[in-house]
Amino acid sequence: MPTPLLDRLNQARHRQFVGRQPELALFETVITAAELPLALIYVYGPGGIGKTSLLHEFGYICANLELPWAYLDLRDVSPAPDAFAGAVDRAIPSLSTASPANRQVILIDSYEKVLPLDNWLRQNYLPQLPADTLVVLAGRDKLSPRWRSDAGWRALIHELSLRNFSAQESETFLTARGIPSGQHRPILHVTHGHPLALSLIADQFIQQGDLFSFTPDKAPDMIKTLLDRLIQDIPGPAHRLALEACAQVHIITEPLLAAMLEIDDCYAIFDWLRGLSFVEVGSQGVFLHDLVGKTLSTDLQWRNPERYATLLSRARNYYTARLQQANSQEQQQIIADYIFLHRQNPIVRPFFDAASQMSVLVDAANAPDRPQLVEMVRRHEGDRSAGLAEAWFERQPHQILVMRSPSEEFEFAPLGFLFTLDLTADADLIAADPAAHNAWRYLQTQTLLRPGEKATMFRFWLSADTHQNFSPVVALIGVNMVRHYLTTPGLAYTFFPCANPQFWTPLCAYADLTRLPDVDFAIDNRTYGVFGHDWRVMPPLQWLDLLAGRENSLFFQKTPPPPPHEALIVLSRSEFSQAVRDVFRRLSSGDTMSDNPLLRSHLVLKAHDPGASDTEKMAYLQNLVIKTAETLKSSPRHLKLYRTLYHTYIQPAHTQEQAAELIDVPFSTFRRHLKAGLTEVANILWQQEIGY
């Protein structure tokens, strides 16, 4: 029973206690009921979430109500029936003789330490307690399913899952500890309201006083303390690696976990993850509570940066492969998951945070949407822009993506939209639109758009409320821009116009978008700055690799940039074919190919690191041309073309006349076959050149 010193301790704990009002209200309702409606309250949550503090507050309530109560911590109790029963008897000496009329509360902490007793407690020990006894158990993990499968216990149990403090509760906690309000925001950003993390920071404040300045990246001791409390008794190294992998990604599935661990079968490890108290199970996979994920990721990055980078690389590779196979709806989620990998960069973080704040539906526009979208443009950009939007929507309606409220209360109203203009169509309207006209002129004068290639412009993109200012809707529009980059066949160039280019410059620099003053335009007395990217020079997969190197903000800001990629040469269709013929002619002559423009084509550059020598690239190009010619052998119709190329260039006869004799055709026929063979090989390679 409580003693005078225990009373003083409980009073001190009560003064420091914050939040948990629903849990306290439930407890008080149960213990003051005329007849106990419950026999067991089970409190669970990860280490440091506040289970012990809550149990002590339950004891304070009991003391105020003059109810007999006792608190028992099982950390030093052996998981044996006699040891457990003896510990309870010592905590509550009168329990064995207690009258059923005397209501009692037993608060038992650290239940995870005696899990081998779970069946015994459920079947033998607890049912023998007096009927008016309420037991409160606190542990890290959920109760085993056997409790719920028992019809009797199912009616007498209530489970309480503890979560982080709300923002208001966290503010109250920090204020009660005397931490200045100006320091609250960065603390809340890192701790996400986790009680132990807040307590550790409060301890730092008490120790440092006026010198206190919270910098979690420089506090590995605090991170280690959190890890020690959050993660205990990990079965083995593979399980630890699984937790670290889970901490790097937004949500993890069994196939993604297998890819990040590089094992074929990870069912047992995934099942273990799913059962942890600080792991949430969602419709698409499992994910860590915010603080656990942040803590694990920060610790790994500081402790083992090589493994941190390896896990991120494996996740990127998995997403990249999935992206090529997914449908449009899945692609959006995969790209959002990919962006999650960049969340620690201070340039990307605000956009990631905003995009995760709301649930928004994204789909194609329908006819009733279009007048609303035009009015959005009119309100934010003026009448002439609205007229151009209306005209473009009529010409290219399939290019509109709408962000909608997911609530039927608002009838799925448009919250914003993205219109991606195809610059290779509707030449008359391009001429009438200053934005499109300047972009098209740039393509004609600065870079060559080849047949089969596509150039696009994000002509209109805005939130109904904030236009192009930062908002969750605008962040989601950005996700769909990235999706366009990664999934549009033959995409050669994109243009990104902004009403406030100064604001968007840091993000565009991070994303390797180049400022193009020559493409700027003015409409309705408003000037727009334009950024662009040539996807032939920096193709999508190479672009993803570039962003991967910029995930760490220090890398992006302080590390010298990587060697520039060799300038790509953009060839016309006829120039490309001529260069292929030139390769064939030099195959057996011994002449150098160092001046052949194909060495600077996408076809060759994509297969080599930036530091590759001309000799390596020439060898690759020669082999590529020969291998492509050999594919003609698989078709009876093309076999004669291959034989002509073979005896002319690959293993040449002394003269073309002799080559014609070797394949037994007239010389005039031989010349036709030679021309057709060169054309066929050039066609195959051209599709590889522009088909990325």
Average confidence (pLDDT) over 541-555: 66
**pLDDT beyond 90 at 538:** no
Please give the helix or strand (H or E) that residue 362 lies within, else none.
strand 361-364
Between CA 423 and CA 455 the distance in angstroms is 6
Separation in Å, CA 315 to CA 292, 339, 347: 19, 11, 21
Least Cα distance to 46 among 199, 184, 223, 227 occurs for 227
Query: How far, in Å, CA of 259 to CA of 144, rounded?
Result: 30
pLDDT (0 to 100) of residue 82: 87
- One-letter identity of residue 291: L
State residue 230's pLDDT score: 63
Question: Would you state the structure tokens that stand for residue 514, as one six-digit string?
Answer: 């180049």
Q: Residue 561 pLDDT > 50, yes or no?
A: no
Q: Report the pLDDT averaged over residues 655-660.
A: 90
What is the radius of gyration, based on Cα positions, of the chain? Answer: 34
Tens-digit pLDDT profile for residues 166-180: 888 888 888 887 787
- The confidence score (pLDDT) of residue 448 equals 73
At residue 199, does pLDDT exceed 70? yes
Contact (Cβ atoms closer than 8 angstroms) between residue 146 and residue 119: yes
Calpha distance 251→246 (Å, rounded): 7
- Res 150: pLDDT: 87
> What pLDDT was estimated at residue 557?
42
The reported pLDDT for the residue numbered 4 is: 62
Domain ranges of the chain: 4-161, 167-214, 230-325, 361-558, 573-690
Give me 405's structure tokens: 């409220």
Q: What angle do CA 575, 576, 581 make, to 5 degrees?
A: 95
Rounded mean pLDDT, 48-74: 88
Interior/surface letters 269-287, b for 16+ CB within 10 angstroms, e for the rest: bbebbeebbbbeeeeebbb
C-alpha distances in angstroms, 206 versus 7, 179, 188, 200? 25, 9, 18, 10
What pLDDT sits at residue 568? 67
**318-347 pLDDT per residue, tens:** 988 887 777 766 776 787 788 788 776 666
**Per-residue pLDDT at 216 exceeds 80:** no
What's the rounded mean pLDDT across residues 200-229?
A: 64
The pLDDT value given to residue 526:
93
Alpha-carbon gap, residue 416 to 361, rounded angstroms: 11
How far, in Å, CA of 278 to CA of 291, rounded?
9
Q: Residue 56: what residue type? A: H
Query: Cα torsion for 577, 579, 585, 590, to the nearest 10°?
Result: -160
pLDDT at 114 over 60: yes
Mean pLDDT of the chain: 83
Lowest mean pLDDT among 84-88, 371-375, 426-430, 541-545: 541-545
| Two tokens, residue 433 | 């639109």
Tell me how far apart the alpha carbons of residues 608 and 563 are, in angstroms, rounded to a whole number: 14
Q: Where are the alpha helices (DSSP H) in 262-407?
A: 267-274, 290-303, 305-325, 328-340, 349-355, 369-381, 383-395
CA-to-CA distance for 246 and 288, rounded, in angstroms?
Answer: 7
What are the tokens at 555? 């890398």
Task: Match 């549009």 to its residue by tokens.
Answer: 488
Coil, helix or strand at residue 668: helix
> pLDDT exceeding 70 applies to what percent of the chain?
84
| Angle subtended by helix axes 614-630 and 667-690, to nearest 10 | 120
Sequence-separated contacts (24+) of 86-92 with Cβ below 8 Å = 92/68
If pLDDT is split at 50, 70 and 90, which confidence band does 217 have?
A: low
**Which DSSP letter does residue 358 get?**
S
What single letter denotes the amino acid at residue 673?
A: H
pLDDT > 60? residue 409 = no
Q: Kindly report which listed range (65-79, 140-154, 212-226, 232-246) carries the lowest average pLDDT score.
A: 212-226
- Looking at residue 204, what is its pLDDT? 67
CATH architecture of residue range(s) 4-161:
3-Layer(aba) Sandwich (3.40)
Share of the chain above pLDDT 90, in %: 33
pLDDT-based confidence at 601, cuts 50/70/90? confident
Q: Are the beta carbons of 495 and 531 closer than 8 angstroms?
A: yes
Q: Residue 101 has what pLDDT?
A: 44
Residues 6+ apart with CB under 8 A from 532: 442, 493, 494, 495, 496, 513, 514, 516, 519
Q: How confident is the model at residue 355 (pLDDT cuts 50, 70, 90)?
A: low
Which of 188-197, 315-324, 508-517, 630-639 is predicted with the least confidence, judged by mean pLDDT?
A: 188-197
Range in 67-76, 158-167, 350-359, 646-655 the model is least confident about? 350-359
β-partners of residue 104 are: 133
In the predicted structure, residue 554 carries a pLDDT above the cut 80: no
CB 109 within 8 A of CB 55: yes
Of 29, 90, 35, 36, nearest to 58 by C-alpha is: 29
Q: What was the pLDDT predicted at 560?
A: 40
Q: Which of 13-27, 224-238, 340-354, 510-524 has the lowest mean pLDDT?
A: 340-354
The architecture in CATH of the region 361-558 reads 3-Layer(aba) Sandwich (3.40)
Of residues 416, 472, 425, 446, the one with CA closest to residue 532? 446
| Average pLDDT rounded to a whole number, residues 225-238 | 73
pLDDT in tens, 288-301: 876 678 778 888 88
Average pLDDT score over residue span 663-690: 89
Q: What is the pLDDT of residue 399?
A: 95
